[in-house]
Chain A
């Protein structure tokens, strides 16, 4: 299997996304914003469509539009102009509707959008992998360096404000990291499934972990194992890699639940 270059590239991209998606998702889940990834994913679709229209690299336009969408959700939520779920709905539907209109305007409704909606990891090129690895490792480094302030905001946002932590910039950073993750993971599991890879490993890890730090590291391990297992299974069983990866991640939640019951 690893004799084939497209499989090596797929594993390379999968490893980065498998580690990054749960690391970012960890902070979203703790803030009860599990579905933000889904919302940003739909905005990323508009970014892909914009790329078609302007004939720009699709990952680049998806990245820019996703970051803008994520910051919009955070802005609306923080200003309490709308409830969190309403802010999400507003950006969510505007993104998907904008995507459809832009794709139509680009005359690209007949192109293979399926690969963006459900992933196409086997078509990852060397350039794609370089972009995914560069931005992915950068995002993981940011999380590693700012882990303590990010956790302080997650644990007690008002308390963090009182002691003078820069809460708004840290929340905006989390939103931007989520957008970067989604733009990078688009090719791995697809826009419709990326949020699953950000959330399901974290849910499973919370049932196994013994502290916040251990939960985050276990979630990253589960994300990595899900992607590697998913790609391998998909290769041998001729299944779609994105869907297979997410089903593996979903199965880990069940395993985590069983382990937590046994441990009690």
Chain B
């Protein structure tokens, strides 16, 4: 399979601080589901932000071959004061795929509707986010990331702080997106819960990549990915 992205000798530090990532080499094929794990401050989120172009490497090179990207940030929420409906939030995720000027076209509205249905929020489409549970809000943000028909979906701690039912729903959805639609998925998390049974590749990050392989090949002491010790 052709590569979706490649990081070559990438290092990164914030400002004049110590390096967060050192000499990272990583290649991800199109359609691959890659779980990225590691301790707090280990550089998981930074790795994702480098891939998405939100940060630039101090040294090395990041090459992303896919054009359409969807992103679910950590603890996704919006700071706006006005009431925001699920449909409006998901519609904001479609803007880059539609014409920039004027209202959404019929096919774009259909894509928004499809993304909302895919995360199981059809009945809540016109409800405001502030009236919904944390799990439902998280699913709405995933729908926003899906609305632009991404080839690469980057999720940062998508199930943190949501109930088991929502975690199951996210797991089923991701399995469908990965296996049936061939989407490349980067899944950053401390804990993999419901997605653990279909993760095929796990990358452990602690300033550098300390493990890259199948979960079965993971050394015993690393089975809790949040407590990686060098």
Q: Which of A32, A162, A213 contacts B53 (CB 8 A)?
A: A162
| Chain B interface helix/strand/loop/mixed | loop
The interface centre, meaning the residue of B78, B88, B92, B144 with most chain A CB atoms within 10 A of its CB, is: B92
Taking a contact as CB atoms under 8 Å apart, the answer to whether A155 and B83 are in contact is no
Chain B residue nearest in CB terms to A144: B102
Residues on the A chain within 8 Å of B103, using CB: 148
Chain A residues within 8 Å of chain B by Cβ, number: 33
Taking a contact as CB atoms under 8 Å apart, the answer to whether B95 and A149 are in contact is yes
Q: Which of B81, B88, B93 contacts A163 (CB 8 A)?
A: B93
Residues on the B chain within 8 Å of A206, using CB: 81-83
B172 contacts chain A at the CB level, 8 A cutoff: no
Residues on the A chain within 8 Å of B71, using CB: 158-159, 162-163
Chain B contacts with A in 52-105, Cβ cutoff 8 A: 52-54, 68-71, 73, 76, 78-85, 88-89, 91-93, 95-98, 100-104
Chain A residue nearest in CB terms to B89: A155
Whole-angstrom CA separation of A145 from B99 in the bound complex: 11
A154 contacts chain B at the CB level, 8 A cutoff: yes
A26 contacts chain B at the CB level, 8 A cutoff: yes
Whole-angstrom CA separation of A71 from B85 in the bound complex: 31
Q: Which of A155, A159, A203 contacts B84 (CB 8 A)?
A: A155
Q: Which of B78, B102, B148 contacts A156 (CB 8 A)?
A: B78
A146 contacts chain B at the CB level, 8 A cutoff: yes
Chain A residue nearest in CB terms to B78: A155
A151 contacts chain B at the CB level, 8 A cutoff: yes
Chain A contacts with B in 158-196, Cβ cutoff 8 A: 158-165
Whole-angstrom CA separation of A148 from B154 in the bound complex: 23
B23 contacts chain A at the CB level, 8 A cutoff: no
Whole-angstrom CA separation of A234 from B170 in the bound complex: 58
Give the shortest distance, in Å, between A45 (CB) and chain B (any CB). Answer: 28
B160 contacts chain A at the CB level, 8 A cutoff: no
- Count of A-B residue pairs with CB < 8 Å: 100
B194 contacts chain A at the CB level, 8 A cutoff: no
Give the shortest distance, in Å, between B185 (CB) and chain A (any CB). Answer: 15
Taking a contact as CB atoms under 8 Å apart, the answer to whether A209 and B78 are in contact is no
Residues on the B chain within 8 Å of A164, using CB: 96
Taking a contact as CB atoms under 8 Å apart, the answer to whether B95 and A29 are in contact is no
A30 contacts chain B at the CB level, 8 A cutoff: yes
Residues on the B chain within 8 Å of A15, using CB: none
Taking a contact as CB atoms under 8 Å apart, the answer to whether B81 and A162 are in contact is no
Residues on the A chain within 8 Å of B54, using CB: 158, 161-162
**Chain B window 176-217, contacts with chain A (Cβ cutoff 8 Å), 1 for yes, 0 for no:** 000000000000000000000000000000000000000000
Q: Which of A163, A165, A209 contacts B83 (CB 8 A)?
A: A209
Residues on the B chain within 8 Å of A212, using CB: 80, 82-85, 88
Give the shortest distance, in Å, between A145 (CB) and chain B (any CB). Answer: 5
Taking a contact as CB atoms under 8 Å apart, the answer to whether A32 and B82 are in contact is no
Given the interface pairs A146-B100, A162-B71, A163-B148, the reply to whether A155 lies near B128 with Cβ below 8 Å is no
Give the shortest distance, in Å, between A183 (CB) and chain B (any CB). Answer: 25
A152 contacts chain B at the CB level, 8 A cutoff: yes
Taking a contact as CB atoms under 8 Å apart, the answer to whether A162 and B52 are in contact is yes
A226 contacts chain B at the CB level, 8 A cutoff: no
Give the shortest distance, in Å, between A171 (CB) and chain B (any CB). Answer: 15
Taking a contact as CB atoms under 8 Å apart, the answer to whether B101 and A146 are in contact is yes
Give the shortest distance, in Å, between B126 (CB) and chain A (any CB). Answer: 8
Residues on the A chain within 8 Å of B73, using CB: 156, 158-159
B residues contacting A by CB (< 8 A) are 52-54, 68-71, 73, 76, 78-85, 88-89, 91-93, 95-98, 100-104, 126, 128, 144-145, 148, 154
Please give me the 5 A-B residue pairs with the lowest Cβ-Cβ distance, nearest first: A163-B96, A152-B92, A215-B82, A30-B80, A152-B95
